[in-house]
Structure 1
Amino acid sequence: MSLLESITDNFSEERIIGRGGFADVYKGPVAVKKLKLQVSSEDMVPVLEEKFYQEICSLMMAKHKNVVRFLGYCADAQGKVYNIAGKNIVGEERQRFLCFEFLPGSLDKHISDASRGLEWRTRYQIIKGICEGLHHLHQQKIVHSDLKPANILLDHDMVPKIADFGLAKCFNEGQTSAITKNVFGSQGYMAPEFYRGVVTFRSDIYSLCIIIQEILTGTKEYLLVENESNEHLLVENESNLSLIKVWYY
């Protein structure tokens, strides 16, 4: 814990390089991901704890050139006095951290009209790297569940590395799907069945198709399309919807 405090200047705001609903990421010699365990709902605490250990499990299994390199973790708990309704109550303050190799950027910063100047060879290599990284995860029975440009980091040579395994699921041998009551994800990249809490390998393929189209077109425009359950889903654009269906189904 003291080491992580020293390399992040005691987790100063100036060191933050990424924010999410469940964690902040700090820059140091390595990237330090600090989970947000201080939540308003007590029901969310076990969910966040599960996410922490699920991410560790996934990262220890996922060693590949196109997956961010996991360096270690810290699970710290210390006694703390809380003043509640005028009474001092001794409780436990829990902090959870994950450490990764530091990478200078992410794919979402390169998907815009201004990024269309990327060489086609570079775009191809990025797509190829993402596919190879995802293929490796699926071979290890890992469903990422939150594949999107912001979760694909790029090194100085524009080599992509899949990151952020907080929503990942580790399947048993022969398992092809799972049901979850806690549906978290990013609109625009979530497969239709995922909205109903069904997690499958195909869910990642759906997200991959959206990412590939964004890399090729340089746009992030979405429109609402109804699925078979009359739920409104976000997809890239109507002209490319047929391509998604071919790849996905």
Structure 2
Amino acid sequence: MNTEDDKQTVLSTLPKDLPLDFLKTITDQFSDNRVIGKGAFGTVYTGTMPDGQTIAVKKLAENAPIARDKIFNNEVQNIMAYRHENIVKLVGFCHEGQKKVVLNNGRYIVADVYEGLLCYEYLPKGSLQKNLFDKPINMAWDTRFKIIKGICDGLLFLHRIPIIHMDLKPQNILLANNMTPKIADFGLSRLFGQEQTRANTQNVVGSYGYIAPEYLYRGEISTQSDIYSLGLLIIETTTGEKNTPKQNEPSAREFIEREVTVCIEIGLECVDIDRKKRPSIESIVERLGRCCANLTMDGIEMDRDNPFV
């Protein structure tokens, strides 16, 4: 029996390098009505394939904080070849030049200007930012814990390559229909050599509030840079919404409080000012796994759909 992934779609028959005219057509010439997100690195549109399938098309900005070609290369190099449940899937790209009239040294000239576009699977639930803060939903703890664990599993996969994401934040975590989190936006990511553990840069770019202090002040890059951002994500996902425990379910509340405590402890360890004291992603995933296992071992019964209401 064929699974959903085995079914052939129009998208699966296309080359990965998609024509610019095709992407213009499926986004109605990059219509404002198709916009689903905007950021420093570009604008994201919905694109409708000939068979009705929806994809997300990111048109990279000309005035991004780092060069558009570098963003494009980072995205294609660092996620095109990799598949993981908690990493957003890149399904195509376009790097095509067009003749344009541009101002150069006070004179208008005709030049080849290259557009950079990236095509991803479409995730209609949107970002974690939207679901936690912009238009908050009543998110049960079971869902929050699933999101935290999924982000950690995705980051473990990246760090084992090793790829450093460098821009983990709620806006860059997308949610599938079943609330499975997917790490997105690899424009700032770094691919390290197998023996490389640290790097330095003088060009510090990222989202203030989520940047590790050693990167912000000294330009030091390592897997622990991501761990700092992860800690903030864990804390925000855990505490983003106030809920009132049921008075008649002490066992359920006890288990939830245990999970919450573990997540907050991990989050606080991740944001330690000393990068050497931050936990590895392996130890984080292991601790979350042990927390899940305790549910079965303890035989605790609870309403996992909405334990707080």
Return the TM-score normalized by structure 1: 0.82
Specify the code of the residue in structure 2 equivalent to 1:244.
Answer: V
Cα pair 1:61 1:140 within 8 Å, conserved: no
Cα pair 1:31 1:100 within 8 Å, conserved: yes
Corresponding position of 1:210: 232
What percentage of residue pairs aligned between the two structures are identical? 46
Distance apart, 1:13 and its partner CA: 1.2
SS of alignment partner, residue 96 of structure 1: strand
Q: Which of 95, 101, 107 is equivalent to 1:75?
A: 95
Corresponding position of 2:285: none
Corresponding position of 1:63: 83
Specify the code of the residue in structure 1 equivalent to 2:271.
Answer: I
Structure with a larger share of its residues in strand: 1
1-structure distance, mates of 2:158, 2:150: 12
SS of alignment partner, residue 111 of structure 1: helix
Corresponding position of 2:112: 92
Cα pair 1:37 1:94 within 8 Å, conserved: no
1-structure distance, mates of 2:153, 2:30: 34
Corresponding position of 1:111: 132
Distance apart, 1:141 and its partner CA: 0.6
Q: Unmatched 5+ residue regions in structure 2?
A: 1-19, 48-53, 242-266, 280-309
CA 117–179 in structure 1, closer or farther in 2 if over 3 Å, else same: same
CA 90–54 in structure 1, closer or farther in 2 if over 3 Å, else same: same
Distance apart, 1:113 and its partner CA: 9.9
Determine if the alignment matches structure 1 residue 18 to structure 2 residue 37.
Answer: yes
CA 242–58 in structure 1, closer or farther in 2 if over 3 Å, else same: closer
Distance apart, 1:83 and its partner CA: 6.2
Distance apart, 1:100 and its partner CA: 0.3
2-structure distance, mates of 1:243, 1:93: 42
CA 158–80 in structure 1, closer or farther in 2 if over 3 Å, else same: same
Aligned positions of 1:1-249 closer than 5 A: 1-28=20-47, 29-37=54-62, 47-82=67-102, 88-104=108-124, 105-112=126-133, 115=136, 117-195=138-216, 196-218=218-240, 244-245=271-272, 248=278
Distance apart, 1:110 and its partner CA: 2.3
CA 109–58 in structure 1, closer or farther in 2 if over 3 Å, else same: same
1-structure distance, mates of 2:62, 2:177: 33
Distance apart, 1:216 and its partner CA: 0.9
Distance apart, 1:201 and its partner CA: 0.2
2-structure distance, mates of 1:23, 1:2: 19
What is the alpha-carbon root mean square deviation over aligned residues? Answer: 2.5
2-structure distance, mates of 1:82, 1:112: 41
Q: Deviations over 1:187-246 (max 9, x none)?
A: 111111111221110011111110010011117xxxxxxxxxxxxxxxxxxxx8577329
Q: Deviations over 1:28-76 (max 9, x none)?
A: 221001111257xxxx77x321221111111124310000011011001
Distance apart, 1:112 and its partner CA: 3.6
Distance apart, 1:81 and its partner CA: 3.3
Computing the radius of gyration over CA atoms, which structure comes out larger, 1 or 2?
2
Cα pair 2:210 2:232 within 8 Å, conserved: yes
Return the TM-score normalized by structure 2: 0.67
2-structure distance, mates of 1:109, 1:38: 25
Cα pair 1:32 1:99 within 8 Å, conserved: yes
Cα pair 1:31 1:99 within 8 Å, conserved: yes
SS of alignment partner, residue 149 of structure 2: helix
CA 87–149 in structure 1, closer or farther in 2 if over 3 Å, else same: closer
Specify the code of the residue in structure 1 equivalent to 2:208.
Answer: Q
2-structure distance, mates of 1:8, 1:170: 31
1-structure distance, mates of 2:224, 2:104: 47
SS of alignment partner, residue 101 of structure 2: strand
Q: How many residues align?
A: 225
Distance apart, 1:79 and its partner CA: 2.1
2-structure distance, mates of 1:56, 1:137: 14
1-structure distance, mates of 2:134, 2:100: 50
1-structure distance, mates of 2:159, 2:167: 14
